[in-house]
Chain A
Amino acid sequence: MTAVTNQTQPVARFAPGGFALHGEAAVADVSGALWLADHGALVVSDLHFEKGSAYAKRGVMLPPYDTAATLARLADVVARYAPRMIVALGDSFHDGGGAARMGEADRAALRGLQAGRDWIWISGNHDPEPPIELGGACAGEMRLGALTLRHEPQAGAAPGEVAGHLHPVARVVSPAGSLRRRCFASDGARCILPAFGAFAGGLNICDAAFAPLFSRAPVVAHVLGRTRIYSVPIMRCLGD
C-alpha cells in the first residue's frame, strides 16, 4: 500500500514519508534512509560500523554482529530503490580502527553494495578520514542539485542542508503508552537523518541541540514505524 514496497516505480510525491526538501522531492524511507529520486541517490547516515568491536576493545563484549546487521538492512533498502549512487553521510565507522577490524564477510557484502554504482563516504567526527581502501570515493561534503550533504548540521547553513550526526529520535505519548523511535527531522529547508547503524543510540529531537537548526518553519518528525513512516508534528513529541 505504501510506495516503499513498490520495487521499481518511482515514489509518489506525498506518499507516507514523502516531502519537499528545498524544492527537491525526498522520501524518508521506513529503513531510515533518505531517497532522492531525481538524483537516483540513497543517503544513509551514522552507520557506525564496528561499534560492537570498538566496545569489545574496552572489555564490553557487545555482539560482533552489528556491522553485518547494518549491511543487511542497507542491502534491503538498496534492493528496493536500485540507486545510482549511495552516500554514507559520515560516522560510517565508529572509530578510526574500525575499517581494519571489519571482517572479510562484511567487506565482501560492502563490495557487493558498491558494485555498479557510485559510493561516497562523507567524513564525520568518528571517521575524519573515511577508508577509501574499502572502495568508493570520499568527500567532506557534496552538492546534489539544490541540496548540500554534510555530516554535521551547521547552525547558519543555507537552506537545502542534508545532515546526520545527531541521531534524532522522537518520543510520542498517547493514552495507550509511550514510544521512542528513530526519526527524520525536517522543516522543509533542512533534513536531519536518523542513525542507520544497528547499535546507534538516539537523541530526542526536543533536545536543545536541535533548537538552533530549525527556526524557519514547523518541524515534522518522520518517525520510523514498523511498516511505514509516520509524520508527526514536533508539538506532539515529548522530551525524555
Chain B
Amino acid sequence: MTVTPRLTILPDPFRSWFAARGWAPRAHQLALLKLARLGRSALLIAPTGAGKTLAGFLPSLIELAGAQGARGQGLHTLYISPLKALAVDVARNLETPVAQMGLGVRVETRTGDTSASKRQRQRRDPPQILLTTPEQLALLLASADGEHLFATLRRVVLDELHAVVTSKRGDLLSLGLARLRKLAPDMSMVGLSATVRDPDELRRWLVPQRGAGEMAELVVAAPGAPPAIAMLDTRERLPWSGHGASHAIGEIYERIKASRMTLVFVNTRAQAEAVFQQLWHVNEDALPIALHHGSLDAGQRRRVEEAMAAGRLKAVVCTSTLDLGIDWGDVDLVVNVGAPKGASRLLQRIGRANHRLDESSRALLVPANRFEVLECAAAIEAAAEGAQDTPPARTGALDVLCQHVLGMACAAPFLSDDLYEEVISAEPYAHLPRADFDDAVRFVATGGYALQSYDRFAKIKRLQDGSWRIANGKIAQAYRMNVGTIIESDMLKVRLVRGVAAKASRAGAARGSALYAPAKLAPGAQPAPYTGRLTRGGRVLGEIEEYFLETLAPGDTFLFGGEVLALAGIVENEAHVSRAHSDAPKVPSYAGGKFPLSTYLAARVRKLLASPKAWGALPEQVSDWLGLQQEKSLLPPPGKLLVETFPRGGRHYLVAYPFEGRLVHQTLGMLLTRRMERMGLKPLGFVANEYALAVWGLADVGTRAQKALFSMDDLFAQDMLGDDLEEWLQESALMKRTFRNGAIISGLIERRFPGKQKTGRQVTISTDLVYDVLRRHQLDHILLRAAREDAMSGLLDLERLAQMLARVHGQIIHKHLERISPLAVPIMLEIGREPVYGEAQDEILADAAGALVDEAMGG
C-alpha cells in the first residue's frame, strides 16, 4: 500500500496537511469521500481509533474548502451525536484541522447548554457545520424557520449510530431525518458505527424506505488488532453470589498500580460506589483514583474528565457514562468488574483502552461470583470469534410518533396523507399501519378517546383545506418544553447539610486530593446524627432517583459520590444528607444488573455448562463446583431447562435455571407464583437473579410432580402470558412507570421541572390514577398500546419470556432432590437479601398495622 496515489485524490490544502503529518488517508476515508461525491448515503463501520470522525467530515470539509462563496453560505453539514459532551468534543477536534489548513469554515455546537441568544443567532445566521443532538434537531424542525435553515443542507453525519438506534431517541431522530430529507432532498447521510450484528438494519436507517428495504452503501474499515482479554484467576475464594467483587479489590488494585491508566467499568452506579469505596480502603499509595457516573454533579464529572485527559489520574471507576466515543486520555487497561452482559458491549468498553489501531487493547474481566465466571468465559470466546450481539432494531414507538406529529404541526399546518408518507419513509416506522398514524393524530388533537367530549379543546384543529394546524401559540410553547424522549426518573438533588459530622470530615479529606478521595472521618471522630435545623447552605453532591430515596427512612445510610451519607430528610425536591461514618451503609438495593444478559451470551453460557470438556479453561473452584453439581444433581444438556425441587428448613423450593436475565426471571416469577397459587401449590415468595429463579412455598411441589399430580410442562406453559399476565400488568409498578414515561413523551402530561414544582402533591396529576381509569374504560387507547409494546421489548421483556417458554416446552428436566444442589446455592443466598416479590404489597401495611396492636397491648 503506497502513500502517494492515495494522497493525490485529495485536493491541495488537504494533501499537504496529511503529508506534513506523515499520514495517508485510510481506505475507508477515501471510500466515503467517493460516495459523498456521488451523493450517496453510506454506513461506515470502523473500530475505535480508525479515524471515524475525520472520515465523516472529510467530504464536507473538502466541499466547503473548494466552494467559498455562494455554495459555502448557509448550513452545509449537520452532525448529530447521542451525547452532548461528544458533540462538544468533536467540535474541538474538528477545529484543529480547519484552523491548520486555514479553511475558514465555521463550526459551532448547539446543545441544551447553548445560550438562548446564541441559539437565536444560529437560526438567523447558521454556521456551515453544526454539531448537535437529536432533541435540538427536533426543536429546530418544529420551529417556523426550520424550512429555511435546512434548505441549504448537503450532508448529515450521525455518530455512534449503533447506540442511538436502540432507543426511543433513535425513533425521534429517524422521524426528524425523514423531515430533513424533505426539506433538503439532495442531502446525503453518513452513519458512523461500531461493529454491529446486522449492518443492514443500520443501512436501511440512512435512506428513505419505499417498501423494498432500500439500503445505504456500506463501508467497512479494516479491523484493529484483536484485543487481549483475560479473566482474573483470583487467589481468593470466589463468592457464591453478589456483585460487589470485594474479594478481588486487592488484585484490581495491583493491576491499576502496574498500568499507566485504568478504566474500571461496572454495570451500575451502586457497584461503582461500592468498588470505588473499597479501592480507597486499600489505596496505601494514595493513587489518584476517581469516580465517574451519571448522577454525580456535572461539575464534578467534568473535573474528573479533565484530570483524565491531562493524565493526572491512575484510574477511574465508571459506569456506562464512559462507554461511548469520547477520547479522555491514555488508557492502557480496561477492567470490567462483574458480568459483561453482552459480547458487543464488552468489545465497545474494551475499545476504550488504547486508541491506536495497531496495538491490542488490554482488558481484564473480574467476575464477582461463580456464575459470572461462566458469563465471562463465554464473552471471551465470543470476543475471540468477533461475534456480535447488539440488540435488534426497534419498531418505532407510538408515543414518540405522537410527539413528532405535534412538533410538525408547530412547524406548519400539515395534511395527514403527506405526513404519513413522510413518517413511513423512516425505517423504524416503515410498517406503521395508517390506522395507528391516524390514532396518533387524533391523540394529539383531543386525547384520542372513544368518548369524544373534548373537540372544543382540541390542540390541533382541522382547517377547511383538510390540513391540521395548532390551536394557539401556547401549544407550541408546551411542545418545546416537553421535547425529547429521555424521561429522567424524578431526581432529587442531594445536598450536604452542615453538621458536626461534616466538619470532622474536612480533616480526613487531607489524606488525598479532596477532589478524588472519598471523604473519611478523622480517626476517633464521633459522628453525631444531624439534629439541627435543615438549612440550604450545603453543597449539592449530585442527584439521585426519588424512588430509591422513597425506600429510605431518615437516618438510613447509603453510598453516594464515594461517601457514606445519612438521610436527614427530604425538603421539597432536595434530599438533605449528612456525612456518616458507617462501615455498613445501606447500599442501593438495585445493585443487580442494569443491562440484561444478552440472549446470545445466555445461549453460550448454557452451552458451556453442558460441555464438561470445556471446563478445563475455567478456574478450578468453578470446575469443581460444576463437577459436584453433576454428581449431586445434573447439568442440563443443550436445549433443556433444569428444574430442581428440594425441601429446606420446613419449606419446599423450586429452582429453575433459564439463564435469561433478571428481568425475564422476575416476570416469570410473578406469573409462576400466580399459577402455583391456583394449582394449590401454596407459594410464599420468589427471588430471581440473572441465571435462575427460586420459588418457595408450603406444598411439596417436587413430590407432587413426581406423582404426576401436575406436570412441570403445564406449570411453564406459554398460556401464562394470557390472563395471568393481564391481571398482573394491571398492578405492576413497572408497567405504571412505563405508562408514565409514555404519557410524558406523547405530551399527554407535562414534564415536571425541578425547581418549578410546588410541594403539595395533591395538585399534581398522578399517572397511576390515569392508568387505572384508562385501563378500565378504553383498553385499546394508543398510550396503553404504546406502554404494552414497551413492556414487550423493554422493561419487562415479555418477548424474550415468550421465546423462552416456547423453547423449553417439552424440554424440562425435573430433578427432585433431598437437599439443595450446588448450582442452587447462589440463588438461595439471595433470598432475604432481595425484597420478596409477589403479592406481598399489602403485607407491608399489615406489618405496620401490627405495630398498632403491639402498642395497644403495651408491647
Using a CB–CB cutoff of 8 Å, the interface residues on chain A facing chain B are 53, 55-57, 59-66, 68-69, 101, 103, 166-167, 171-181, 195, 198-204, 207, 220, 223, 225-227, 230-233, 235-240
Q: Which residues of A contact B570 (CB under 8 A)?
A: 239-240
Docked Cα-Cα span, A2 to B740, in Å, equals: 34
Q: Which residues of B contact A203 (CB under 8 A)?
A: 760-762
Flag B723-756 by CB within 8 Å of A: 1 or 0 each: 0000000000000000000000000111000000
Interface pairs A-B: 3 shortest CB-CB? A61-B447, A230-B845, A65-B777
| CB-based contact B849/A231 at 8 Å | yes
Docked Cα-Cα span, A200 to B449, in Å, equals: 20
Q: Which residues of B contact A179 (CB under 8 A)?
A: 841, 844-845
Give the segment of B239-247, B413-421, B650-658, B763-771 that binds chain A. Answer: B763-771
A63-B774, A65-B778, A199-B770 known; A56-B842 Cβ under 8 A:
no
| CB-based contact B475/A59 at 8 Å | yes
A177-B841, A203-B761 known; A172-B848 Cβ under 8 A:
yes
Q: Which residues of B contact A236 (CB under 8 A)?
A: 848, 851-852
Docked Cα-Cα span, A167 to B840, in Å, equals: 26
| CB-based contact B551/A173 at 8 Å | yes
Docked Cα-Cα span, A203 to B457, in Å, equals: 30
| CB-based contact B843/A176 at 8 Å | yes
Residue of B nearest to A199 (CB): B769
| CB-based contact A201/B764 at 8 Å | yes
Residue of B nearest to A200 (CB): B762
Interface size on B, as a range, is 35 or more
Which of A60, A176, A177, A195 is the one whose CB lies under 8 Å from B750?
A60
Docked Cα-Cα span, A180 to B443, in Å, equals: 30
- Distance in angstroms from B474 CB to nearest chain A CB is 7
Residue of A nearest to B840 (CB): A176
Q: Which residues of B contact A62 (CB under 8 A)?
A: 447, 748-749, 765, 770
Which of B569, B773, B845 is the one whose CB lies under 8 Å from A63?
B773
- Distance in angstroms from B585 CB to nearest chain A CB is 16
- Distance in angstroms from B438 CB to nearest chain A CB is 16
24 examples of A-B residue contacts, CB within 8 angstroms: A56-B446, A59-B459, A59-B475, A59-B478, A61-B447, A61-B454, A63-B447, A63-B773, A64-B451, A166-B762, A173-B550, A173-B551, A174-B844, A198-B773, A199-B769, A201-B761, A203-B762, A223-B845, A223-B848, A230-B848, A232-B848, A232-B849, A232-B852, A235-B851
Q: Which residues of A contact B841 (CB under 8 A)?
A: 177, 179, 226
Residue of A nearest to B546 (CB): A240
Residue of B nearest to A51 (CB): B765
| CB-based contact B851/A232 at 8 Å | yes
| CB-based contact B454/A56 at 8 Å | yes
- Distance in angstroms from B555 CB to nearest chain A CB is 11
- Distance in angstroms from B187 CB to nearest chain A CB is 35
Residue of A nearest to B569 (CB): A239
Docked Cα-Cα span, A200 to B781, in Å, equals: 22
With most chain A CB atoms within 10 A of its CB, the pick from B446, B836, B847 is B847
- Distance in angstroms from B385 CB to nearest chain A CB is 43
| CB-based contact B748/A59 at 8 Å | no
Residue of A nearest to B781 (CB): A63
| CB-based contact A69/B777 at 8 Å | yes
Residue of B nearest to A201 (CB): B762
State the main secondary structure of chain A at its contact with B. Answer: mixed
Docked Cα-Cα span, A176 to B685, in Å, equals: 12
| CB-based contact B849/A230 at 8 Å | yes
- Distance in angstroms from A32 CB to nearest chain B CB is 13
| CB-based contact A172/B845 at 8 Å | yes
Question: Given A61-B449, A69-B772, A173-B550, list of 10 further CB < 8 A pairs?
Answer: A53-B457, A61-B459, A61-B748, A62-B765, A63-B770, A173-B552, A201-B766, A202-B762, A203-B760, A237-B848
CB of B583 closer than 8 Å to a CB of A? no
Docked Cα-Cα span, A143 to B619, in Å, equals: 79
CB of B776 closer than 8 Å to a CB of A? yes
CB of B835 closer than 8 Å to a CB of A? yes
| CB-based contact B835/A175 at 8 Å | yes
| CB-based contact B774/A232 at 8 Å | no
| CB-based contact A174/B848 at 8 Å | yes
A60-B750, A233-B851 known; A65-B844 Cβ under 8 A:
no
Which of B551, B569, B766, B847 is the one whose CB lies under 8 Å from A178?
B551
| CB-based contact B763/A201 at 8 Å | yes
| CB-based contact B848/A59 at 8 Å | no
| CB-based contact B447/A176 at 8 Å | no
For chain B, residues 591 to 615, give those with C-beta under 8 angstroms from any C-beta of chain A: none
| CB-based contact A60/B840 at 8 Å | no
Residue of A nearest to B853 (CB): A231
Residue of A nearest to B459 (CB): A59
- Distance in angstroms from A100 CB to nearest chain B CB is 12
| CB-based contact A240/B451 at 8 Å | no
| CB-based contact A63/B553 at 8 Å | no
| CB-based contact A231/B852 at 8 Å | yes
Docked Cα-Cα span, A178 to B550, in Å, equals: 7
Docked Cα-Cα span, A59 to B471, in Å, equals: 10
Q: Which residues of B contact A66 (CB under 8 A)?
A: 773
| CB-based contact B553/A173 at 8 Å | yes
For chain B, residues 429 to 478, give those with C-beta under 8 angstroms from any C-beta of chain A: 443, 446-449, 451, 453-454, 457, 459, 471, 474-475, 478
Docked Cα-Cα span, A235 to B553, in Å, equals: 12
Docked Cα-Cα span, A237 to B835, in Å, equals: 20
| CB-based contact B453/A53 at 8 Å | yes
Flag B776-802 by CB within 8 Å of A: 1 or 0 each: 111001000000000000000000000
Q: Which residues of A contact B38 (CB under 8 A)?
A: none
A69-B777, A173-B553, A202-B762 known; A57-B457 Cβ under 8 A:
yes
Q: Which residues of B contact A180 (CB under 8 A)?
A: 550
CB of B20 closer than 8 Å to a CB of A? no
Q: Which residues of A contact B763 (CB under 8 A)?
A: 201
Docked Cα-Cα span, A129 to B287, in Å, equals: 72
| CB-based contact A181/B761 at 8 Å | no
Residue of B nearest to A70 (CB): B773
Docked Cα-Cα span, A176 to B847, in Å, equals: 10
Q: Which residues of A contact B446 (CB under 8 A)?
A: 56, 61
Q: Which residues of B contact A60 (CB under 8 A)?
A: 748-750, 765
Docked Cα-Cα span, A238 to B448, in Å, equals: 38
Residue of B nearest to A175 (CB): B835
With most chain A CB atoms within 10 A of its CB, the pick from B451, B454, B570 is B454
With most chain B CB atoms within 10 A of its CB, the pick from A60, A195, A204 is A60
- Distance in angstroms from A55 CB to nearest chain B CB is 7
Docked Cα-Cα span, A203 to B841, in Å, equals: 21
CB of B846 closer than 8 Å to a CB of A? yes
- Distance in angstroms from B295 CB to nearest chain A CB is 20
Residue of A nearest to B448 (CB): A61
Residue of A nearest to B551 (CB): A178
Flag B816-859 by CB within 8 Å of A: 1 or 0 each: 00000000000000000001100011111111110110010000
Q: Which residues of A contact B774 (CB under 8 A)?
A: 63, 65
Q: Which residues of B contact A171 (CB under 8 A)?
A: 550
Docked Cα-Cα span, A59 to B747, in Å, equals: 10
Q: Which residues of B contact A207 (CB under 8 A)?
A: 759-760
Docked Cα-Cα span, A230 to B847, in Å, equals: 9
Q: Which residues of B contact A56 (CB under 8 A)?
A: 446-447, 453-454, 457
Q: Which residues of A contact B849 (CB under 8 A)?
A: 223, 230-232
| CB-based contact B449/A63 at 8 Å | yes
| CB-based contact A220/B852 at 8 Å | yes
| CB-based contact B844/A172 at 8 Å | yes
| CB-based contact A176/B844 at 8 Å | yes
Docked Cα-Cα span, A178 to B855, in Å, equals: 22
Docked Cα-Cα span, A232 to B855, in Å, equals: 11
| CB-based contact A226/B842 at 8 Å | yes
Which of A65, A176, A178, A181 is the one whose CB lies under 8 Å from B451?
A65
Docked Cα-Cα span, A233 to B859, in Å, equals: 14
Q: Which residues of B contact A202 (CB under 8 A)?
A: 761-762
Residue of A nearest to B767 (CB): A62
- Distance in angstroms from B548 CB to nearest chain A CB is 10
Docked Cα-Cα span, A47 to B219, in Å, equals: 63
| CB-based contact A176/B842 at 8 Å | no
Q: Which residues of A contact B475 (CB under 8 A)?
A: 59
